[in-house]
Structure formats: C-alpha cells, structure tokens
Chain A
Amino acid sequence: MSEAISPAAALEQTRNTETGTTRKMTLNMGPQHPSTHGVLRVVLELDGETVVRAQPEIGFLHTGIEKQCESLTYQQVVPLTDRVDYLANLSNNLCYCLAVEKLLSIEAPPKAVWTRVLLTELTRINSHLVWLGTHALDLGAMSMFFYATREREEVLKIFEMFSGQRLMTSYFRIGGLALDHPRGGMEAVQKFLEVFPAKIDEYETLLDNNPIWKNRTIGVGVVPVETMLAMGLTGPMIRAAGIPWDTRKDEPYSGYQNFEFDVPVRTENDVYARYRVRMEEMRQSVRIMQQALEGMPEGPHQADAPKVVLPQREKMKTQMEALIYHFKIVTEGVRVPAGEVYQVIESPRGELGYYVVSDGTSKPFRVHMRTPSFGNIQGLGLMCEGGLIADTIASMGSMDFVLGDTDR
C-alpha cells in the first residue's frame, strides 16, 4: 500500500487543498449509525474531513436498571445484571454476587469459585470475539466477522449447556452456581480449548500484516495515558498504553491469585496496540481456563448457607427445614445485614464495579454499577478530535463499548 493513501498523508492533503472556506459542518453520527453498535449519537464538528470536535451523547438505551434493583429482592437482581452488559453477562453476574456475598459474609465453595473463573474467562473470549468481528467489519475486513461468529457460536453453545441460555445466562447466584455442571460440560470446554488457540493464530494471519488493516489502525486514536486515566478509561485501553493494570492481579477476587497468567501490555497506545492486547488476552484466557479445568475441585456447587441459598428440590420433599427455608427465601427474600461494599472486577472492557448498599431489608437500598463502557465513552471525544472521520470509526471500534453497559 503506498504512502499516498495513508491517513496521515490524506490529512496533509486536506489541509493543502483547503481553498478559502472556513465554514465548519456539524454532522450527527448516529443514533442509528451501524458502527456505533447500538444507539450512540456523536455530534461531529467537521472542517472538511477533519474532526474538530466530537461530542458523544448517550442515554438512548437507559432502562433504569439501578432503579429497578431497588424494588426487587437480592436474588431477583441477578437476571437484571445480565442485561447491563449483554456481551459480558457472566462478568456482571460475578461482580454482583461477590458484592452481596461480602455483605452476607458467606463464601462460595471451591467448585463454584473455579467454575466462575472458567466461565468468566470464556465470557472474555466471547466478548473479544464479538469485538474483533465487528471492529474488523467496520474497517472493511468483512471475512473476520464470519470467522469470529463461527467460534462465538461454540462459546454460546457451552453457555447454553451450563445455564440453559445462550446470552442471558444468570448462571452465578449468590452463594454459588444456579446448577451443577451439566453432563459433558467439561468435555465441551476442553474440546473448545483444544481448537481455539489455532483459531487465534488464524485471525492474526488475516490481520497482523494486512496493509489495509495496519494503515487504518497504526498511529490512530492516540491519547496520552495520563489523560486517559484522568478521564476514567480502563481495561485494554490502558494496557495498550503501557500500564499493566489488571484488577485480576492488583486486587484479586474469586481466587484469581491461584492462577498463572500474564497481563499483556503494549506501549504504542493506538488502535493497533489495542487489537494486539485483546488478541493476547484471549490467549491468556485460554491459559487460565486450562488451569481451571485441570484443577476443578469436586464438591458442592452452592455454599452451605440454608438461609441464603435455595435448597435442593430433593431435600424439600423429605426435610421440613428445607421446605421452610425455601418458603422464606421465595416469599420474603434474604435479609442482608446493613452495610455497603464496592466490589471491582476486570470485565472484558475494563473496570467493572458494583456498589451495593443494604439497609438491612431483603431488597437492596442502592445498586450502583460502575460500568467500563461509560467511563470509556467519556474519552471518545478526545480520541477523535484532530483525526479524520474515517478514524472516528477506528477509534470507536477500538474502545469496544456496549451501549447497554453505558446507559444501564
């Protein structure tokens, strides 16, 4: 590919051929633009092809989930957390469950903890595959989308095996898992892990040295890392800027300290570096999942906390106490001691935090979700300003935001 059509050269050209007119144009990108992956509106102020100002407008998908949480019991909130970030449903389940478990001072049994790690890493792969497919599609590499969805289908089949649902899994519950492992579940995961690493290599042969891909991504969307941190950007965005910040390492939760993995870091801080970081993260997820599979402990999948966890159906038929606990949990819910907790985990998109406040009743007083997409989109304007319109698409794709996650 010749230098002449690289973004930088094109920018020079626009400046040179500018003949007198200084009128700026305001362009509404979205809310129905396909590359916004949802309903995001970006108000672009253009000087020719150059973006002078970009202002993201959110709120089109606001569904009031935080308000709804206050009217439901603690268990009933779990399915709502799926709907916050519909590509990282299990990460959201996990974060909420960990927060409430801290308030209740209960711990999930080892089998549940390891299964949680196994499936949240699978969620990361699922989310990164969707990101890879759509991001490449936006930049013109259409075949990537087909390859990525092909593998994602296998991931969704595994989710369906475990939870009965492909997308809205709600598989993690307060105190453990909703169900025990399905028959053949571990074998299905094993089979996927054997095949998948070769597929990552396959994606990379398509993109890594592709001149169009490199032209569209290298040197695009650069923002100083201090600005990024101050603006609230998290996750792969920060790791592609040279800071090895991963909550799984820094503030381990759900037994991540027992797993060996690396935090991929790049220093280029552009769209290409973010792509490389996410590809490497998929490999690390495979590594963690291998360890989780090999070390999967035996035992119960729910905590021994009869006042919190619904009893097994069999026990209800034979034991009076189990029947009473079932009745109490279903009719009035679980009374959680008054207090508050802020639980942070590393979702595929970055720092995901649940701030749960209890006033001692069976309904949460407040559930605040610190979602990674909300923080990331805030920096979108900075990232696009000064670049070309076409680079806006690349920068936006590299953020990997989910609008459900942003607006809640």
Chain B
Amino acid sequence: MISEQLQDDALVAALVERFGEAILSGTIQNGQTILYVGASSIVAVCLALRDDFGFNRISSVTALDWYPREPRFEVVYLLHALAKAERLRLKVQVGGDDPVVATVTGVWPGANWYEREVFDLFGIRFDGHPDPRRIMMPEGWEGHPLRKDFPVHGHKYDYGTETK
C-alpha cells in the first residue's frame, strides 16, 4: 500500500512499475521515504537503485526486533544517492524462526561489515555473505545482544561447579 503522499513520487512510481508486487508498501515519515520490499527481491531492487537511480552508496544496514510480534525482524537499508543528496530507506520483514535475507554485499561491498554486525547482534543470517563471522562480540559468544529478549545487563555468567 503506497501512502498518499508518495503517489506523486517519481522514484516510487518507477520502482512500482518495474517490480510491481515486490514493493509491498511505502510511507513518508519526517520527510523521509520508507519502502517495504519483499524479502525475495531485495537484491534486485538494490541493483536497480544503484544502477538506474543513482544510489551509489549504502549508509548503513541495521535491524529492528519487534518481539513478540511476527514477522519479528525488520532489516533496514539506509541508502544514499550522493549526486542528488537523496536518501531512501528500504525495509525487509523477516520471520523469527531462522531469520535469513540475501546479502547486498554484491551491490555495495561496504554492506559487508554492517551485515556482519546485524548478524552478530540480531542473529539474522545473510545468505551468500562472503565473511559471515561475528564482528563485535567475542568468538564463541552465545546469543544476540540486541534482540529484545536478551536482558540489558546480560546473562549471569556461570562459573561452573569446579571453580570455588
């Protein structure tokens, strides 16, 4: 459902014409455009945005956890067209069990670390990511701290029974 304010937006109209059903909905908040994109077409939409609409860099990738609502996660892509000084926010909704999205590192190599961060802190896997390791938390860490069901002060560390 494209909101009324976006009806006259040339970029959104072009995207809807090209991708049809894949552009699920769109709104404007505080003067910034947000588009919900179907999970299966995110890479195709990003490629089109980069090549045909001038979005030559990705500012950041992050996620939101709407626990306990389903679909639980939203992966947020903050895009930037440098020449036009234009910004666009894409969102992909991902379900809570086995959350996985296709990587956009093939479109913008700079998405690499941002996707690693989202994987590390939210536990959303990026299919086809060249380096799917944790980035912030130590290796061997269990859990994903930015999930809403992860306590703010962490789990109490269990020192085991052997150590007195």
Contact = CB atoms under 8 A, between A and B. Distances in A.
A and B together in one complex: yes
Contacts of A102: 30
Given A64-B145, A342-B87, A378-B113, A353 B152 contact: no
Interface of A: 58-59, 62, 64, 66-68, 70-71, 102-103, 227, 229-232, 243, 245, 250-251, 339-342, 344, 351, 353, 355, 357, 365-366, 368, 370, 374-375, 378, 407
26 contacts: A59-B135, A62-B136, A66-B121, A67-B145, A71-B152, A229-B82, A230-B108, A231-B109, A232-B113, A250-B85, A340-B30, A340-B34, A342-B32, A342-B59, A342-B89, A344-B87, A353-B60, A353-B78, A355-B60, A355-B76, A366-B62, A366-B64, A368-B76, A370-B60, A375-B110, A407-B136
Contacts of A70: 152
A341 B62 contact: no
Contacts of B108: 230, 232
Contacts of B110: 230-232, 375, 378
Given A62-B136, A230-B109, A232-B58, A340 B82 contact: no
A152 B123 CA distance: 42
A12 B78 CA distance: 43
B112 A378 contact: yes
A58 to B, nearest CB: 7
B152 A103 contact: no
A407 B145 CA distance: 14
Contacts of B59: 232, 342, 344, 351, 353, 370
A229 B114 CA distance: 15
Contacts of A68: 152
Given A66-B146, A67-B145, A351-B59, A340 B78 contact: no
Nearest to A245: B82
Given A103-B30, A231-B110, A341-B29, 4 more contacts: A59-B134, A62-B137, A66-B146, A342-B59
Contacts of B137: 59, 62
B56 interface: yes
B57 interface: yes
Chain B interface size, as a band, is 20 to 34
Interface string B56-80: 1111101010000000000010100
Which residue, of B30, B56, B82, B85, has the highest number of chain A Cβ atoms within 10 A? B30
Interface string B5-34: 000000000000000000000000110101
Interface centre among A231, A243, A365 (most CB of B within 10 A): A231
Interface string B137-158: 1100000011000101000000
B60 A59 contact: no
Contacts of A243: 82
A340 B152 contact: no
Contacts of B145: 64, 67
Given A59-B136, A62-B137, A68-B152, A357 B113 contact: no
Contact of B29 (A340, A353, A368): A340
B147 to A, nearest CB: 10
B78 A355 contact: yes
A375 B113 CA distance: 8
A339 B29 contact: yes
A29 B78 CA distance: 33
Contact of B113 (A342, A366, A374): A374
A285 to B, nearest CB: 22
Nearest to B117: A374
Contacts of A229: 56-57, 82
A102 B30 CA distance: 7
Contacts of B64: 357, 365-366
Interface in B76-131: 76, 78, 82, 85, 87, 89, 108-110, 112-114, 121
